[in-house]
Amino acid sequence: MTATIEKPTAQAEAGRSARSLVDTVFRAREISIAGALVLLVLFTWIAEPRFLNDQGVKDLLLNAAILVLLAVGQSVVVVTRNIDLSVGSVVGLSAFACGKFVSGTDHGPLLVALLGIAVGMACGLVSGALVSFGKVPALVVTLGMLYIIQGIDYWWAEGEQINAADVPQSVLDLGSGSVLGIPYLPLISFAVLAVTAYFLRSYRSGRELYAIGSSPEAARLAGVPIRRRVLGAYVFSGAVAGFAGSLWLARFGTVVADNAHGWELTVVSAVVVGGVAIVGGVGTVWGAALGALLLTTIGSALSVLKVDSFWEDAISGALLLAAISVDRIVNVRMTRALRKRSAR
């Protein structure tokens, strides 16, 4: 009887030890990203004091708001060991659809946001169904969706441009307004970020997404509804991208067919740099948000310092490769450490 009681206790202790090690490693990753961000801001501010004046800070927050939103949605997909390369094209389609809908009308921002979310959810539903139920590789599905959605957007737009003069003032106020000096868009992004983080950490269905990414076979044996969870992750990512499209309209006013073109890899870079492992199962949306903020700050810093914009892409690519390499090294060392602890 004594041996029977001690065995589960040892397993439980090993499980808690493993979780503690994983949490410690990725908390350190997020702290290091935050530290790099602070150093970058300080260096740029010393070189150009105007970087942190009131307008500079507002521009920095506004530039990061939409990318942070997209990184949050992408993170939910990536932790399931999948990827969504269609988010940039979904933003473009949603922004144009919302612009077309409100052009010459007095529709309010709530209706515009709901339309953007609906467009994004429809795109996410198609991608998610093909990946989860059709068993088609996520890379193939979402790359195909990227070009399909872009084609639909170009066909629909036919070279047309939605101008700020055609957009209701209430919608434009959402993109330019602020409360206590803080623009609305960063506050909205933070709210979505906080709710998503709470869901992933506190709800069983959120934790099941990590279980799927860690080991799909183990998750299946544990009774996790993998297909539904993966489908839900894609629908959520699409909804967030569609919402980001409506905010794009509010932020810029002027909308064309190729808005957010090429943002797909930027979003993936932000997520991976932020510590969400591309192989799934680990990472947080907080880290992804920090990654997005770091990349946008690099772009703003290079612009302020009058450095060729080419270096922004080069630095982003270098950070992506470094993040993937670090993830691999950390994963190998963590596996060895967990095996040693289990052996004890």
Number of domains within the chain: 1
- Residue 196 falls inside a structural domain: yes
> What CA–CA distances, in Å, run from 292 to 167, 181, 239?
28, 22, 19
- Residue 215 falls inside a structural domain: yes
Q: Which residue has the tokens 């740029």?
A: 44
Q: Are 263 and 91 in contact (CB under 8 A)?
A: yes
Name the nearest CA neighbour of 270 among 103, 58, 70, 93.
70
Q: Please give the Cα distance from 318 to 306 (Å, whole number).
A: 20
- Residue 135 falls inside a structural domain: yes
Q: Please give the Cα distance from 305 to 312 (Å, whole number).
A: 12
Q: Please give the Cα distance from 139 to 240 (Å, whole number).
A: 19
DSSP 87-115: HHHHHHHHHHHHHHHHTTS---HHHHHHH
- Residue 101 falls inside a structural domain: yes
Task: List pLDDT tens digits, range 102-112.
Answer: 988 888 899 99
- Residue 177 falls inside a structural domain: yes
- Residue 15 falls inside a structural domain: no
Structural tokens at position 65: 């708001």
* Average pLDDT per consecutive 10 residues, the chain (344 residues; last block may be shorter): 44 47 59 83 85 83 92 95 93 93 87 95 96 93 94 87 88 88 92 95 92 90 93 96 94 84 87 86 89 87 76 71 67 60 60
- For 218, other C-beta atoms within 10 Å of its C-beta total 11
CATH number for 110: 1.10.3470
pLDDT at site 87: 93
Structural tokens at position 104: 């010459």
- Residue 266 falls inside a structural domain: yes
pLDDT at site 340: 67
pLDDT at site 59: 85
Name the nearest CA neighbour of 80 among 275, 273, 240, 277.
277
Task: List pLDDT tens digits, range 34-65.
Answer: 888 888 888 888 888 888 888 878 888 988 99
Q: Please give the Cα distance from 152 to 159 (Å, whole number).
A: 12
pTM (predicted TM-score): 0.85
Which structural domain, as residue segments, surrounds residue 71?
A: 27-343
- Residue 21 falls inside a structural domain: no
Question: If DSSP codes are grouped into helix, strand and coil, which group holds residue 255?
Answer: strand
Q: How would you class 106 by CB atoms within 10 Å of its CB: exposed for 0-12, middle for 13-18, buried for 19 or more?
A: exposed
CA 94 to chain centre: 17
